[in-house]
Amino acid sequence: MLKKSVMMSAIFATSLIQAQVLTTNTGSPVGSNQHSKTIGNNGQVLLEDVHLIEKLAAFDRERIPERVVHARGAGAFGEFVAAADFSDVTMADFLSQAGKVTPLLVRFSTVTHQQGSPETYRDPRGFAVKFYTEQGNYDLVGNNLPVFFIRDAIKFPDMVHAFKPSPLTNGASDPNRVFDFFSNLPESTHMFTWLFSDYGIPANFRQMEGNGVHAYKWVNAKGEVTYVKYKWVPRQEVKNLTQEEANAIQATSVEHATLDLYHAIDRKEYPVWDLYVQMLKREDFDALDFNPVDVTKIWPEAVAKSVKVGTMTLNANPTNYFQQVEQAAFAPSTLVPGIEPSEDKLLQGRMFSYADTQRHRLTGNFQQIPVNSAKNQVNTYNQNGYMSLRPQSGDVNYQPSTTKPEVVDDAKFKYSKSEFFTPVSTTQHVIDKENNFKQAGELYRSFSKKDQDNLIKNLSGAFNSIKNKVIVHKMVAYFYQADKDYGTRLLKATNVKLEDIKPYFEQK
């Protein structure tokens, strides 16, 4: 018996040693990973060296297309614990009982800059959460700031082009180009007030808020619709950087936020956020002086009180950045029953654009990559294409089928009825109740004197670098209409006169 035990131990030890042998992608052992196969010691390299060819070919294909936006990012895994049963307002199963635990992945990012760029740039921060629910994946794709620059997706490519390097010089983001574009979009006034305050440079990813930004619809089992907005509130103190503090960090590190997140989790100092939603009914909309599905607006607490729906804890770092963060694919169209998009024009466009970006970057089967795959069983007859890995067998690859009648639809998960327009008509027009400046003014007045001073310094610094002064006049006119003191201080800081900006005031 002892002899047999010793022999089994030797076999097991041998198998362990063999498991460490370097192999090709097909599992064949590699004879030498240091020297190519040549004719003699000093002759030409042979094409038949399959390991060399495979190694170089794999290396040539290591990079995939960079995200057009949100290219620079960091991620972590964790869990979400529901605070209560919300089944009276949504069919979403992960919100169906207090204490229900749902695993998740979060990816934080800068927005407009490329991979490898400093994480200290003044830029919105992406805050994307993938919930692995029992009804499939749900992506809540938002930013740290609660509003956005534009309200219609048809402007999105132009906006990103304005932020990106010049096609002429390939230089970094240029205020001349950025504000040349936005000087024609007064709806951006609110977002720029956020962005050029200290909120425009979060100190790190752990100490910033997150927002769903858009309005969404929650739908219950009766088909009743409640409009909601999401907000992530960190239990860690919110912390931002002044421009000077950001410059000092950037002098020594370009990935300070990524490393901060990684090392905090590694130390078991797990970051925690509470998720809140605000709720409105369609019948509440008409009484408001803004359109609640306008992404350039917040919902004031006086209009819609925040309700806690759960808590997120990030407690695990990725084990491979490329596989679990770079290949992580988020899209607002990744929804579960009980959650639907609102009529927000920007969100409607993102429903297509984000998923289409992932198909371009990661192939049409990007949902089969492990980090993106659902944890529940997937039953679909979508098939084939690059990297088709989902097990599929049998003769029936269609539905309905008499041969295989058990694969069926479920009518209780049909989409809700739109409540917005009667009678239905089509148009291409600005939304009702634009109200471009009011909330920007309220935000300015809510800032402390220090925050107001930094905002004026940051904005005027950008404006003073702009060559075309008409652009400056138009932008200052927007901020003046938001708040007289706000505009007056910018007039002084940019050496612009009041009569220069009056032609650009909105006509009432």
Strand partners, 132: 137
The strand pair at 101-110 and 73-82 is best described as: antiparallel
Question: What is d(CA 508, CA 499) in angstroms, rounded to the nearest whole number?
Answer: 18
Note if 143 is an active site residue: yes
Residue 354 assigned as binding residue:
yes
| Amino acid letter, residue 349 | G
Counting Cβ atoms within 10 Å, is residue 343 exposed (0-12), middle (13-18) or buried (19+)?
A: middle
Q: Rounded to an integer, what is the distance from CA 263 to the centroid of its chain? A: 22
Cis status, amide bond into 400, omega within 30 of 0: yes
**What is the maximum span of the chain, computed from C-alpha positions, in angstroms?**
101
Q: Do the Cβ atoms of 67 and 327 come closer than 8 Å?
A: no
Among 284, 406, 410, smallest CA distance to 336 is for 410
- Of 51, 113, 137, 143, the active-site residue reads 143
Residue keyed to tokens 């050029």: 196
Cis status, amide bond into 405, omega within 30 of 0: no
Counting Cβ atoms within 10 Å, is residue 61 exposed (0-12), middle (13-18) or buried (19+)?
A: exposed
Q: Do the Cβ atoms of 151 and 347 come closer than 8 Å?
A: no
Question: What is d(CA 198, CA 196) in angstroms, rounded to the nearest whole number?
Answer: 6
- Of 70, 190, 214, 473, the active-site residue reads 70
φ/ψ (deg, to 5) at 95: -110, 20
Note if 372 is an active site residue: no
Using CA atoms, how far residue 45 sits from 42, 93, 141, in Å, is 9, 60, 50
Among 167, 193, 201, smallest CA distance to 486 is for 193
| Amino acid letter, residue 289 | D
Question: What is d(CA 384, CA 370) in angstroms, rounded to the nearest whole number?
Answer: 17
Residue 154, token pair as written in the block: 């048809």
Question: What is d(CA 173, CA 399) in angstroms, rounded to the nearest whole number?
Answer: 50
Binding residues: 354
Name the residues annotated as catalytic. Answer: 70, 143
Binding residues for heme: 354
